[in-house]
Amino acid sequence: MNVPQKQTASRTAGGWLAAAAFLLAAALMFHGALAVDLETQMKHIAEGAGRWAAVHWAAAAALSAFAVAGLIVLSSGTPLTAQWWTLSAWAVVTLGALWTVTTALAEASVVSAAAVAGDQTMFEAWWRFAEAKANGFAFLALAFAVIAANEAAMPRPFTPSWASWIAALAGAAAFSGWVVGAWLGIRGGSAVWVTASLVMCLWLIWLGVALARAGADKSEHMAAEAGRAI
């Protein structure tokens, strides 16, 4: 793929990335932390079923857009995947987004319906399914942490190094929050996951917009730097 085509791919991926991060940030602001007790979580969903469904439809759209951005990056050979760790990270982003979109769809439909109907057996069964699939989001966040750290170390990054380092820490914190809250069942972990994921999304919007607006000279410079690093 020649330089103009790679530049088009980077700009297109940036647009999808920014849109995905914006939608996910909006969803996270209305999502809130998850309750450790399932009965409490079921009651919470039942009391705001419309909001819960809307949030997860938005999350499904965001995750789908992340998958599109990842596929474009992986198939175009842009400097964003010049290193083995960034190539792997973008692959995990794509797979994690596709894995987790099932969670969003389940929670927007059958989980909400079961909560409203008061069917605890069905709610718990689908919640466990959705929770297992949602593990993909934890690894997606970890992959973005790797991408952000790599961006911070670039000679001419698309976003300031300080912002990229904050995003890397936020991605790692989102992963840790999920592990503590969802895997270990410790209260407070979910709040860390939501907050850190929101910070991560704000940086992803910044990165996506920067990629979409980048000039060919910067992409060529990144390609040269990546070539020297290999």
Read off the pLDDT of residues 139-151 as tens digits, 9 standing for 90 and up: 999 999 999 999 9
Pick the more confident residue, 28 or 216: 28
pLDDT of residue 7: 85
11-20, 138-147, 175-184, 219-228: lowest mean pLDDT where? 219-228
Count: domains in the chain: 1
pLDDT of residue 221: 45
d(CA 220, CA 126): 48
Q: Torsions phi, psi of 187, nearest 5?
A: -60, 135
**Which pLDDT band, with edges at 50, 70 and 90, does 173 fall under?**
very high
Residue 187 per-residue DSSP state = T
pLDDT in tens, 67-126: 999 999 999 888 889 899 999 999 999 999 999 999 999 999 999 999 999 999 999 999
**229 in a domain, yes or no?**
no
pLDDT of residue 216: 44
Question: Quick check: 230 pLDDT over 50?
Answer: no
**73 in a domain, yes or no?**
yes
| Mean pLDDT of all residues in 48-72 | 97
**149 in a domain, yes or no?**
yes
pLDDT of residue 218: 53
Question: Quick check: 24 pLDDT over 70?
Answer: yes
> Crossing angle for the helix pair 84-106 and 49-76, nearest 10 degrees?
150
- Tokens matching residue 14: 């940036």
| Mean pLDDT of all residues in 181-199 | 95
Q: What are the start-end ranges of the E strands in 50-156?
A: none
| Mean pLDDT of all residues in 55-68 | 98
pLDDT of residue 76: 87
**230 in a domain, yes or no?**
no
**198 in a domain, yes or no?**
yes
Q: How far is CA 200 from CA 39, 97, 164, in A?
A: 30, 15, 9
What dihedral angle (degrees, nearest 10) is formed by the CA atoms of 192, 198, 201, 205?
-150
**120 in a domain, yes or no?**
yes
Q: What is the mean pLDDT of the chain?
A: 92
**Which pLDDT band, with edges at 50, 70 and 90, does 1 fall under?**
low
Residues spanned by the domain of 194? 3-224
**14 in a domain, yes or no?**
yes
**84 in a domain, yes or no?**
yes
**Which pLDDT band, with edges at 50, 70 and 90, does 207 fall under?**
very high
Question: Quick check: 163 pLDDT over 70?
Answer: yes
| Mean pLDDT of all residues in 172-186 | 96
Question: Quick check: 219 pLDDT over 60?
Answer: no
d(CA 46, CA 151): 42
